[in-house]
Structure 1
């Protein structure tokens, strides 16, 4: 479980595009995003089955419907990760899934890039959940967010900080080899995960620049889906 972090600052409304520090060198991973993310559709299908049971239980409670100011996207891959691509490599939406339910609608997209010998490989996941009956506030920040748990950052842990000025509440989790940004806004929960893999002698990414780009793309995603 991830407890609520202390507000550390450093995430103003004008976010820097560069940073002085570089992360620790990640260990050698899989060869590229197309292999690393090939399980995404199957994982989403399994997680969908789990959600069916959870949502049935939620339907039994008469909680007030949370405010939802966003529309459901059937193809979330149509929304590009422009800023993250500029800070890493050009990422392309490769696989999309979505599902509509009386209690919850969700949309998912896995992004990847062709493998290049001797360079780090990057991948990203985007998940949008619209909770139409149960209020997600009590669960937000308690661990992997819904289907976002099918990614490589499914386990809890890492350094977590709050990001001000983004939705009602936003959390950034940093771990070696990747970062995850989660945003709560009414009944909507957004998740963006970016990871990198490759040889230990490959150039490390500017982690702070990647995280700033994630915030920028998250703002663009929320704006694109706002009703």
Structure 2
């Protein structure tokens, strides 16, 4: 019976095949041999590759978070308005409602949101002199708001907050979609088509321009009967609002 040839020892005969566990031994103890053998086994190699892949994926994920934190949300070039009464030119509305007077701006900058506000009076002609002891019979208040959301997306809530709550002085409101203005734009008016408010969503920026008509009593210190309201064509107001809104949106971009 022929048996398998035995491997020769180190003193002679054919060279002995290298022991995989001994080739990478660091140290002379048996524990080092066993650890190296396990590390170089196919299972150990697969485990090292899996560990390396997980570490690489974690590094990419962390790098993505760092890049997002550094750059923030895409604001589409919109910036904070330090003085909204300057950025909101409102020249189209001024042609209809009269010259701008007593602008009152306000601004607040926070980590998550920037808010700017402007309230301006528009009045036709020159106001009566003080010696006449009388007030103007009518004027308009134009209120402009601009909000820049830097951390949250306002889109899901935009449509839901168009109309005022029930306790508002104007409850019955009509809503009209305005095309080709920002992402979404709506014009709200009362039942007669007056007191318009134009609201626009464009990415993280939300704008609104509202026109409120004010009337006072005639006579000394407003003691006489109320003046007859002078109405402005609602279609002309709509066109003026859209034109002034486009100018404002362009003004607050970098």
Aligned counterpart in structure 2 of residue 99 of structure 1, from 108, 117, 120 = 108
TM-score by length of 1: 0.63
State the alpha-carbon separation in 2 of the partners of residues 154 and 223 from structure 1: 32
State the alpha-carbon separation in 1 of the partners of residues 230 and 209 from structure 2: 23
State the alpha-carbon separation in 2 of the partners of residues 179 and 72 from structure 1: 25
Following TM superposition, by how much is the alpha carbon of 1:93 offset from its aligned partner in structure 2, in angstroms? 5.3
Distance 1:174 1:194, change over 3 A: same
Following TM superposition, by how much is the alpha carbon of 1:210 offset from its aligned partner in structure 2, in angstroms? 1.2
Q: Name the structure 2 match of 1:206.
A: 233
Q: Deviations over 1:21-40 (max 9, x none)?
A: xxxxxxxxxxxxxxxxxxxx
Paired residues of 1:92 and 1:111 also in contact (CA < 8 A): yes
Q: Name the structure 1 match of 2:118.
A: 109
Q: 1:121 and 2:139 equivalent?
A: yes
Aligned length: 160
Q: 1:65 and 2:83 equivalent?
A: no
Q: Name the structure 1 match of 2:210.
A: 193
TM-score by length of 2: 0.57
Q: Which runs of 5+ in 2 are unaligned?
A: 1-68, 129-134, 216-225
State the alpha-carbon separation in 1 of the partners of residues 93 and 103 from structure 2: 16
Q: Name the structure 2 match of 1:166.
A: 181
Distance 1:184 1:206, change over 3 A: same
Runs of 4+ with deviation above 3 angstroms: 64-68, 113-119, 153-157
Which one scores higher on RCO, CA 8 angstroms, separation ≥ 6? 1
Q: Which has the larger radius of gyration?
A: 2
Distance 1:101 1:180, change over 3 A: same
More helix as a share of residues: 2
Root-mean-square deviation (Å): 2.7
State the alpha-carbon separation in 2 of the partners of residues 67 and 226 from structure 1: 9
Paired residues of 2:97 and 2:122 also in contact (CA < 8 A): no
Q: Deviations over 1:94-117 (max 9, x none)?
A: 211111111100100001145665
My pick for the range that moved more, 178-187 or 167-176, is 167-176
Q: Which runs of 5+ in 1 are unaligned?
A: 1-61
